[in-house]
Amino acid sequence: MEITRIFDFLDYQQQNYPSDKAMAKKVDGQWKYYSTQDLIDQSMKMASGLLDLGVKQGDKVAITSYKNRPEWTIADIATQIIGAINVPLYPTISPGEFEYILNDAEVSYAFVGADDLYDKMATAKANVPSLKEIYTFDKQEGRPFWEDMWSEGHFEQIEQIKQNIKPEDVATIIYTSGTTGNPKGVVLKHSSIVFVVIESCIILPKHSQGMDTLSFLPLCHIFERAVSFAYLYKGMNCHFTGTDNLGGETGDLRTVAPYFFTTVPRLLEKVYEAIYNKGLGLSGIKKFLFFWALRMTDDYEYDKTYSGWASVKRKIADKLIFSKWREALGGNVQGIVTGAAPCPPNILKVFSAAGIPVREGYGLTETAPTISVNYFEPGAAMIGTVGPIVKGVEVLIDDSDGNYREGEGEILAKGPNVMVGYYKKPDENMRVFKEIDGETWFCTGDVGKLVKNKAGRDFLKITDRKKELLKTSGGKYVAPAPIEGRFRESFLVEQIMVVGNNKKFVSALIVPAVEALKSWCEDHEVEWTSVEEAIKHPKVVQRYQWICEKYNPEFSKIEQIKKFTLVPDQWEAVKTDGSDSELTPTMKLKRRVILDKFAKQIEELYSD
């Protein structure tokens, strides 16, 4: 069968390789599996129930849950097959943000997961005239349960509706988290997401049918949502879990032993930090061997081969050290793809050199999401880039509007993956779409260039965000992202933000990595009471100055960090005290929020 609408992926799996374990979630510590037929049956019942409620083609239905679960996908498909539009919501946003999105999209019904989501949604509902009811995926006393709205009276009608849904129809409106201002609703067609899923599937292992995967990135983000449909398309068994259930002897990485999963760089960084800190705790020959093996990852490149003594050393390191790392991830991983934020090159090197292949991709919600990706096949990956452009997508490096270095410019994209536009935002649409020689291009806001590998193949390299470029008082432009990415490679740096707009020089706010700093203090006879006290100690300040002196020479003089201040509290995507979070749900810096919160500290950096 030809796949032209998103829900076709489920029917495709049923026709070609129906599975008894298509999707799974943990219930009382045990995996509960949903067959392909279960997913079809339950989505049909929910769709029939939505018709009973009066939901029509074009109506909006919201879904939110803290953890990925089969119910999310079932609700997504049920919405699609009656021509309604799914509006996914980040569970971590505030009731006020819920209220804004629900009103902007004019949502009719909402389906929510456990914990406080019903209460948050109910708080918003009081000010959302369009929202008729909220249903929960889990039975909760006194609250509408989603299975209670299911019915079986409209199956024939649903089949008729499905046949009339066109690839160009709107499938979803996804509200971008945004670093400033209210979120914008990205309108995506069925055909856009279908295109990305099919074209991106070549990154998955060959002969994928029946392979186990893990899914823990939020399904409300287009990245993981598209990946979940790719798993259906390839007949892979998708185990939904949360990041808090991954590690340890009984964690899902070990028990599921996945062949493939997607992640964000921060999670890989945390895994690496845990490995590194464990190495610091070793002694004698074990500690020597650990760091001896680690040093061998420094010169790693994709497709690089070793011979002679260099090959022998790596085999020894693999047997003694790296094999244990693979075992901690279940022992079967054939590939990990990371996205949503830049991945430090040392993370790509360390994991890949240890036999855990990691590749980085790039895209936006507005491009459904993939523009480029590094593949696992020989000659199709290059560290420091986000890979070759996906077949069918075009990219233009536009240097007409800005002060860029040679070969750089804003990345413009064109292809079937690009959004219809922002929902009810004509002015924003005029800003992000650009006419060049009679063709319409989407302006990503990212700055980059095309570079070639040894074989002459083009790879896309991201160098910064256009709107995040700093301009010093001397008129020089500085790209913060490369500087921040390099400094985060230090184990003592948890987070960093470069500042200096309209200032004479560049400075930085640095959040220390607490466990690594504590270990360093113990090794250097610095008494540890708290991170707040530690960052005041002259030896600690001197160590961070040494980090600046180590990395600064890699950048031009105007880009070098002249001053810094250490900030004790980690920046978060969710603040329990109700204050503005410093990170978006996809872990990007909210630069204006951070600038406001630390205005005093920044002023002190330039007080001289």
pLDDT in tens, 481-518: 889 989 998 989 999 999 998 888 999 999 999 989 99
Per-residue confidence band for 574, with pLDDT thresholds at 50, 70 and 90: confident
Per-residue confidence band for 475, with pLDDT thresholds at 50, 70 and 90: confident
Query: Looking at the domain that runs over 8-165+204-262, which CATH code has it been given?
Result: 3.40.50.12780
Confidence at residue 122, expressed as pLDDT on a 0 to 100 scale: 95
Hey, what are 492's tokens? Answer: 């003592």
CB 472 within 8 A of CB 505: yes
**How far apart are the C-alpha atoms of 604 and 327, rounded to whole Å?**
48
Average pLDDT over residues 379-385: 96
Cα dihedral: 73, 74, 79, 83 (round 10): 90
Amino acid, res. 352: S
**How far apart are the C-alpha atoms of 572 and 582, rounded to whole Å?**
6
Average pLDDT over residues 111-132: 95
Q: Which of 430, 431, 388, 390 is nearest to 414 (CA)?
A: 390
Q: Which of 191-195, 362-366, 470-474 has the lowest mean pLDDT?
A: 470-474
DSSP, collapsed to helix, strand or coil, labels residue 481 as helix
Which residue matches tokens 């064109």? Answer: 414
Q: Model pTM? A: 0.85
pLDDT in tens, 125-180: 999 999 999 999 999 999 999 999 999 999 999 999 999 999 999 999 999 865 55
Question: How many other CB atoms sit within 10 Å of the CB of residue 363?
Answer: 25
Confidence at residue 590, expressed as pLDDT on a 0 to 100 scale: 85
Confidence at residue 177, expressed as pLDDT on a 0 to 100 scale: 67
How many Cα atoms are found within 13 Å in the side-chain-facing hemisphere of 294? 17
H or E element at residue 269: helix 265-280
Residue 376 has pLDDT above 70, yes or no: yes
Confidence at residue 556, expressed as pLDDT on a 0 to 100 scale: 82
Question: How many other CB atoms sit within 10 Å of the CB of residue 516?
Answer: 18
How many Cα atoms are found within 13 Å in the side-chain-facing hemisphere of 460? 31
pLDDT in tens, 529-551: 999 999 999 999 999 999 999 99
Per-residue confidence band for 470, with pLDDT thresholds at 50, 70 and 90: confident
pLDDT in tens, 300-355: 999 999 999 999 999 999 999 999 999 989 999 999 999 887 888 999 999 999 99
**How far apart are the C-alpha atoms of 508 and 594, rounded to whole Å?**
12
Q: Which residues contact 372 (CB under 8 A, 6 or more apart)?
A: 361, 362, 363, 386, 387, 388, 389, 390, 393, 395, 459, 460
Confidence at residue 482, expressed as pLDDT on a 0 to 100 scale: 85
Confidence at residue 340, expressed as pLDDT on a 0 to 100 scale: 80
- Higher-confidence residue: 401 or 510? 510
Confidence at residue 234, expressed as pLDDT on a 0 to 100 scale: 96
Per-residue confidence band for 262, with pLDDT thresholds at 50, 70 and 90: very high
Mean pLDDT of the chain: 93
Residue 105 has pLDDT above 90, yes or no: yes
- Burial state string for 531-554 with b = 16 or more CB within 10 A and e = fewer than 16: beebbeeeebeebbeebbeebbee
Confidence at residue 178, expressed as pLDDT on a 0 to 100 scale: 56
Per-residue confidence band for 181, with pLDDT thresholds at 50, 70 and 90: low
Cα dihedral: 332, 295, 277, 533 (round 10): -140
The structural domains of the chain, with segments of one domain joined by +, span 8-165+204-262, 264-413+428-467, 470-605
CB 178 within 8 A of CB 188: no
CB 472 within 8 A of CB 500: yes
**How far apart are the C-alpha atoms of 107 and 110, rounded to whole Å?**
7
Q: Which residues contact 127 (CB under 8 A, 6 or more apart)?
A: 99, 103
Gyration radius from the chain CA atoms: 25
Q: Which of 46-55, 262-271, 311-320, 449-458 has the lowest mean pLDDT?
A: 262-271
Q: Which residues contact 456 (CB under 8 A, 6 or more apart)?
A: none
How many Cα atoms are found within 13 Å in the side-chain-facing hemisphere of 449? 10
* Integer CA distances (angstroms), 110 to 94, 315, 338, 476, in order: 16, 54, 30, 49
CB 359 within 8 A of CB 381: yes
SS (H, E, C) 63-119: EECCCCCHHHHHHHHHHHCCCCEEEECCCCCCHHHHHHHHHHHCEEEEEECCCCHHH
Per-residue confidence band for 578, with pLDDT thresholds at 50, 70 and 90: low
**How far apart are the C-alpha atoms of 229 and 72, rounded to whole Å?**
12
Q: Which of 459, 602, 485, 452 is nearest to 555 (CA)?
A: 485
pLDDT in tens, 516-534: 999 999 999 999 999 999 9
Task: Give φ, ψ of 228 to 5 degrees.
Answer: -60, -35
Category of 298 on φ-ψ map: left (φ > 0), alpha (ψ -120 to 50) or beta: alpha
- Max CA distance (Å), the chain: 75
CB 166 within 8 A of CB 177: no
Percent of the chain past pLDDT 90, that is, above it, reads: 77
How many Cα atoms are found within 13 Å in the side-chain-facing hemisphere of 470? 27
Q: Which of 59-68, 126-135, 274-283, 384-393 has the lowest mean pLDDT?
A: 274-283
Percent of the chain past pLDDT 70, that is, above it, reads: 99
Residue 552 has pLDDT above 70, yes or no: yes
Per-residue confidence band for 463, with pLDDT thresholds at 50, 70 and 90: confident
pLDDT in tens, 386-399: 999 999 999 999 99
DSSP, collapsed to helix, strand or coil, labels residue 423 as coil
DSSP, collapsed to helix, strand or coil, labels residue 449 as strand
Category of 349 on φ-ψ map: left (φ > 0), alpha (ψ -120 to 50) or beta: alpha
Confidence at residue 342, expressed as pLDDT on a 0 to 100 scale: 83
Q: In the CATH scheme, what architecture does the domain 470-605 have?
A: 2-Layer Sandwich (3.30)
CB 410 within 8 A of CB 444: yes
